[in-house]
Structure 1
Amino acid sequence: MRMRSLIAVLALLLSTFVQAVAQSGGTPLKVAIAGDAPPYVINNATSGLEVDIVREALPGYSLEFVQMGFAETAPALEQGKVQAAVNVMKKNDGLFYSDKMISFANYAITKASDKMKVGSIADLAGKKVITWQGAPMDLGPEFEKMYGPNGTQRQNIVQAPTAPDLVAQFWKMKDVVAVVDMELFKYFSNRMGHKMDQVDLFQIFPLMTDFRVGFREQKVRDDFNRGLAELCRTGRYKELLKKYNVVQKQDICN
């Protein structure tokens, strides 16, 4: 009799759990993502290109986006504070990294009035550079050699914690080079009253810089990869690019 009662209680608890998960939209998943940076992350991570890609690639999960600084997302994943992190680079650290999730068109950007010329990464030497936190590790070995922890130009780099900070500081500083995604730069510059005809763009980095989503569990990573592949197969990924007016010469589906 006691065994039957115990089984009944366990069955009730299991039913309650399943019902709660179903009502929440799926398995709970806490995801680290950067602060608002339209068109990629908008309105406290309730919309935006990155938010929509991750959400639509994981339809069986109930996502809770946790916003933080550029340099905080990967450590939050490593420390187990979240179960996933958007926009990270693949590392050999025992975690599970997705296929390429999104590409950014990073440029060296200067004020036209400063009349600066930047034809290569090497041309940044001696110039003040402002970029995102962690960029020295994201933009390739040559940039890292110059601006990484032991870089020869380390004293000349400013790493902004958020996208609005990066763009705002660029417009306040003289003779500075912003290294940032063009769409993000354009959005915040327009909001701050500046136009793109006030700047010069130099394509000194690879056409696109690719980022992934990191996960603590292999199954969730595999589910995400399958969902991402489906977004590409159906053309939905390109629809999302169009929805947020992100124009790319190539994307992760090409």
Structure 2
Amino acid sequence: MRKLIALIRGALLMLLCGLPLTASAQEVVMAFGEKIPPFCFPESDSGIELEVIGESLAFKGHKLIPRYYPLARVPLEFKMAHVDAAMTDLGAGAQGGYFGNPAVLYDNVFVTLTQRALKISKPADLDGLVVVAFPGALKRYPEWLTAVDQAGHYFEQNNQELQVAGLNKGRFDVVLSDKNIFHYFELQLTRNSLFKAKAVDMQAFTEVDPNDYRPVFRSEKIRDDFNAGLAQLKASGRYQAIYDSYLK
């Protein structure tokens, strides 16, 4: 249903802007990670990232065809020319393609219970604390997490809903998570169970660079069309509406 709604919205956007489908409109096969709620839900071809990218491409008549892979394979599928675009290069470089403007922003933070009054401003502040993070976080932030891992206090958990529930119950001290992902699962737990969310502090530990996470396209023209659609999505308020539909 979400996929159908997104397609209808994309078509309406083109009509409102006087942009009929043309011969240059293409299907764009794009590699996405297997499951990154609320950004990507493969079972329904929905999520914040899919809707933003799909509607941005639809602005010039293109149709998004998502393909799902383990996250580490996403840039490889692009490099091997199995897809026309990829949600991210994971630092591998454009590899013969063209970077688009950032479609979404990931803002990783340390999440702690407010009642604990923990302050984390340097790696040593994690000494003695049990930290849980998403898979691959240790490789991404070794300066923060190596000592915790060596002390046996570091764990990676693919199911990020369990991270939220575990922190709330005091099973560990710190969650390393994207702000929106943590908030999404907090909302889901509140809606679907007797879960009562405790107040949390979200502590920044690194500067967010939007260019760290950008889609990459094999076609320069489609990249340009995507950028134009993304700009329109933001100017119209639709971009924020997509975020709000999953997080409010």
Same-fold status (TM-score > 0.5): yes
Aligned to 1:146, what secondary structure does the other structure show? helix
Instruction: Give the letter aligned to residue 119 of structure 1.
Output: I
TM-score by length of 2: 0.67
Aligned to 1:219, what secondary structure does the other structure show? helix
Structure 2, unpaired ranges of 5+: 1-20
With over 3 angstroms needed to count, the CA separation of the structure-2 counterparts of 1:93 and 1:49, relative to structure 1, is: closer
| CA displacement 1:189-234 (0-9 Å, x = unmatched) | 444443331x532322357563211223333322222221222233
Aligned to 1:104: 106
Shift of 1:57: 1.0
State whether residues 70 and 162 of structure 1, in contact with CA within 8 Å, keep that contact through their aligned partners in structure 2. Answer: no
Structure 1, unpaired ranges of 5+: 1-21, 247-254
Aligned to 1:76: 77
Aligned to 2:56: 57
CA–CA distance in structure 1, aligned partners of residues 155 and 244 of structure 2: 32
State whether residues 39 and 49 of structure 2, in contact with CA within 8 Å, keep that contact through their aligned partners in structure 1. Answer: yes
CA–CA distance in structure 2, aligned partners of residues 152 and 38 of structure 1: 29
Is 1:235 equivalent to 2:232 in the alignment?
no
Instruction: Give the letter aligned to residue 108 of structure 2.
Output: N
Instruction: Give the letter aligned to residue 84 of structure 2.
Output: Q
Aligned to 2:120: 119
Shift of 1:118: 3.5
Aligned to 1:146: 144
Question: Within 5 A, what are the aligned runs for 1:1-254?
Answer: 26-42=25-41, 44-59=43-58, 60-89=61-90, 91-94=92-95, 95-111=97-113, 115=116, 117-122=118-123, 123-136=125-138, 143-147=141-145, 151-155=146-150, 156-161=153-158, 163-164=160-161, 167=164, 174-192=171-189, 193=193, 194-197=195-198, 200-206=200-206, 208=208, 210=210, 211-245=213-247
Aligned to 1:16: none
Shift of 1:53: 0.5
Percent identity reads: 24
Aligned to 1:47, what secondary structure does the other structure show? coil
Query: What is the root-mean-square deviation in Å for CA atoms of aligned residues?
Result: 3.5
State whether residues 132 and 161 of structure 1, in contact with CA within 8 Å, keep that contact through their aligned partners in structure 2. Answer: yes
Shift of 1:177: 1.9
Aligned to 2:105, what secondary structure does the other structure show? strand
| Structure (1 or 2) with the greater strand fraction | 1
Aligned to 2:18: none
Aligned to 2:40, what secondary structure does the other structure show? coil
State whether residues 106 and 181 of structure 1, in contact with CA within 8 Å, keep that contact through their aligned partners in structure 2. Answer: yes
State whether residues 102 and 214 of structure 2, in contact with CA within 8 Å, keep that contact through their aligned partners in structure 1. Answer: yes
Between structure 1 and structure 2, the one with the greater Rg is: 1
CA–CA distance in structure 1, aligned partners of residues 206 and 43 of structure 2: 30
Aligned pair count? Answer: 214
Shift of 1:101: 1.7
State whether residues 131 and 148 of structure 2, in contact with CA within 8 Å, keep that contact through their aligned partners in structure 1. Answer: no
| CA displacement 1:86-138 (0-9 Å, x = unmatched) | 2555543534222222123433123568x372422422345343222343565
Instruction: Give the letter aligned to residue 186 of structure 1.
Output: H
State whether residues 110 and 175 of structure 2, in contact with CA within 8 Å, keep that contact through their aligned partners in structure 1. Answer: yes
